[in-house]
Every structure is written in C-alpha cells, then in structure tokens.
Amino acid sequence: MSHIVAIVGRPNVGKSTLFNRLIQRREAIVDSVSGVTRDRNYGKSEWNGKAFSVIDTGGYVRGSDDIFEGEIRKQVELAIDEADVILFVVDVEEGITPMDEEVAKLLRKVTKPVLLGVNKVDNAMREKDAIEFYNLGLGDYTTFASTSGSGTGELLDNLVAAFPDKPEPTKEEIELPRFAVVGRPNAGKSSFINALIGQDRYIVTDIAGTTRDAIDTKFDRFGFEFNLVDTAGIRRKAKVKEDLEFYSVMRSVRAIEHADICILIIDATRGFEGQDQSIFWLAEKNRKGLVILVNKWDLVEKDTMSTRDYEAKIRKEIEPFTDVPILFVSAHTKQRLLKALEASVQVFENRKQRIPTSKFNDYMLKVIEGHPPPALKGKYVKIKYCMQLPTPTPQFVFFANLPQYVKEPYKRFLENKIRENWDFSGVPIDIYIREK
C-alpha cells in the first residue's frame, strides 16, 4: 500500500515548487501515457525505495484574504482526513504569519505525523532565522530551499521516516478483488450500492456528500465475491457552495489507489463533466480497470438523446483510451445493475489475463510484418520479439533494433491490435519498446 503525503500551507510559500520537485523524478514515467492531462495537484514520488503519492492541497485556492482563511482550513481538514503524513510548509523570509498560526493550531490537534518544513533557507543567516518557527509549537523542523533543491534530501528522509507502519493486508484482502465506486457527489454512488446489497447500509439523501468515509462491503451475491468500496462522496458542509471539483477528486485518490477496478458513476442528467473526466484519468493513470455507468437513465428524455449518441459523446471525451464498457443504468429502478456487476467482474478478469509468449509472438509479429514501424531518416526499425511482462497490470514489451524511432502513433497501433485480438476492455495497457 503506498502512503499519501499532503502538502499544506498558506499561498506563496513554495508548495507547488516543492511538489514539482518531489514528483519530477517520476513524472516522465507516470505521464508517458498519451492523452493524460497533467494533474497539477497529484503525483507519485519515490525515495529510498519507498513509493508514495503527493497531494498539493493548494492547487485551487484563489480569492481574497477572508476566503483564504476558510479555504486553508478546508485544505488542512482534507489533508488530515486523507493523508498519512502532513507536510506543513512555511517561508523563512516572511517569518510566522497569523495564517501560519491558524494552520499550526489545527495541526497541533492531529494524531498523524506532521512535518514542519521551512522553505527558502539557502544560507547560514537564514538558518538562524528559522529558529523562530519553534514558536509554532510543532516541535522540530527541517530547512530546505525548493527552488535550488538544497535540503530536500533531508526533508525526504524525514518524510519517509515518518510513514506509519501499515498492517500487512490479510490473505483474504489480497485475494478478493476491490471494486471502488467513484464519481462526483450526488451521481448516485450510495444508491447504486444499496440497490446491489439490497439493504440500506447507507442512508441515501439528496444532499451531496452524505457519505463520510470510504466504507468496504464484502459482497457475495449472484455468484460474485469481492469488496465493494464506496468512496466518501465528499463531506460537504451545507454552507460551502464553492468549487468542489478539487476536493471530490482528491477524496477519490485513496480509494482509486487501493482498488483493482473503478466503477465510475456519472449522472445522466448532467453529462460527462470535467470532474468525471478528472476521476476517469486519475484511475487510468493509476492503471486501474474501468467501467462507466451512466446512472439516472430513467430520468433522461429519450427522444432528445439515444444511448448511442450519449455513448459516442463519452468515448470522444476519453480518447485515446476508448475501449471501456459504458452501461446505462438506474440505481433507483434497479435497471441493468447486474449487467454492471458482470461487466466489472469481466474487466477484473481481463486485467489479470496472461498471454503466452509464443501465442503473442505468432500473432503480433505477423501484424508488424504487414505494417512495420515507419522508417526514420532512412533507417528501418525491426521488431523481432515481444512478450507480456509479469506485472500486476497488462504491460507488453517489444524488442527493436532502434527503439528511439518508434513513436507514439505506432505504439497506439500495436495497442489497438492487441485489443482486437484479446479482450482488454476497460483495462489500460502499457507498451514499451526496448533495445533487444
């Protein structure tokens, strides 16, 4: 299980610079997936062999000072809820500000590890100035400079050392597939789960975000056995009406990371919106299996929009990863819910399938022979051998004499050919070209 680190602090202390520095080493690997919009607020990092996710909670804070106060409080609450370690960043140039004191006050009550990082310390003079941050009452601090990178090694050492020990997952947890039900608030996630389980485990109301935490339900009906994870809608205070997009996506992070399959529920009456798309790409980036359920289909005027048009619109939005099951359901009338489950189980099976190397070569090498990679600068690329890697998610490697000449469009061609011959519906695939 990877840990989650949240970076908090008031605006302009250098959180984003630090965030970019933390994820840069892996950014190239994580984001070599075509068509993924880089998410400014969430990334993966690794230090001393420990992988972790980083959330920059400051990504969406805008507005006047009094709004800031509320926003900062919300960020800190989000961090307290979702993260394993909280990294509180302050700025040595400005010293302690009233807003820093506010944040510290919230963090002093937290039982989770809190790390205090003093930014912009790049000489001995500033090292002395940093001493005043003891007054925040959070104990020791680590000094660093995110722009030059000095001190970030020590910061990372302290960060990784603070990770709480996670219990080893039980045998049952490993073996039972985890299906996370994700989506924006009020799309009908809890109603969907209630309809499946057949009892109102969740109180469903029309207030967005009445589900407070991700709840696991062991599901054993109709011959399927798995864990169903309801992702905390979002805790939404009734008076908070502002942009919830960031918060609902961040809330989904943990559930998505720990799931095998993500069942993305969208509200038919609202369409496939920005927030749905963010959650979709988050799951895709994490290489999870995906099923899209268009819920509340019973409420849509059928003459204005057929399922075919609606589906085509969604597929347009999720290019190039369009090989995903899309089903039209209604949690309210229980229409096609079993179909939705069957589709999810099928995606789970697709995701763990292994193709024997000889079969894979027989098929793919013929395909490549008929349609070789385009020559570049008069040089011809030859691919003589390929195989599926023994990884938890489907990854394929093709050995070529000039791997650097094989570009993205050709990789997509290979992926499409694999999908034509084997069922990887709903499953992201990685294609690597290596030197033989």
Question: Where in the chain are all domains bearing CATH 3.40.50.300?
Answer: 3-162, 172-352
**pLDDT reported for residue 110:** 86
Average pLDDT over residues 269-293: 89
**pLDDT reported for residue 204:** 45
Judge: domain 3-162, CATH 3.40.50.170: no
Could you tell me if 365 and 383 are in contact, meaning their C-beta atoms sit under 8 angstroms apart? yes
Based on its alpha-carbon atoms, the radius of gyration of the chain, rounded to whole angstroms, reads 24
Question: Where in the chain are all domains bearing CATH 3.30.300.20?
Answer: 357-435
Residue 244's pLDDT band (cuts 50, 70, 90): low
CATH number for the 357-435 domain, one of 3.40.50.2300, 3.30.200.20, 3.40.50.300, 3.30.300.20? 3.30.300.20
**pLDDT reported for residue 240:** 41
More reliable by pLDDT, 206 or 19 = 19
Amino acid identity, residue 120?
Answer: K
Annotated binding site for GTP: 9-16, 56-60, 119-122, 183-190, 230-234, 295-298
In degrees, rounded to 5, the angle at the alpha carbon of residue 3 between the alpha carbons of residues 348 and 218 is 40
**pLDDT reported for residue 29:** 32
Fold (CATH) for 172-352: Rossmann fold (3.40.50)
pTM of the full structure: 0.69
Residue 430 has pLDDT above 70, yes or no: yes
**pLDDT reported for residue 213:** 43
Please name which of 189, 194, 181 lies closest in space to residue 208, comparing C-alpha atoms. Answer: 189
Residue 436 has pLDDT above 80, yes or no: no
pLDDT tens-place string over residues 386-403: 999 998 899 999 999 989
* Nearest-angstrom CA–CA distance, 432 and 411: 8
Annotated binding site: 9-16, 56-60, 119-122, 183-190, 230-234, 295-298
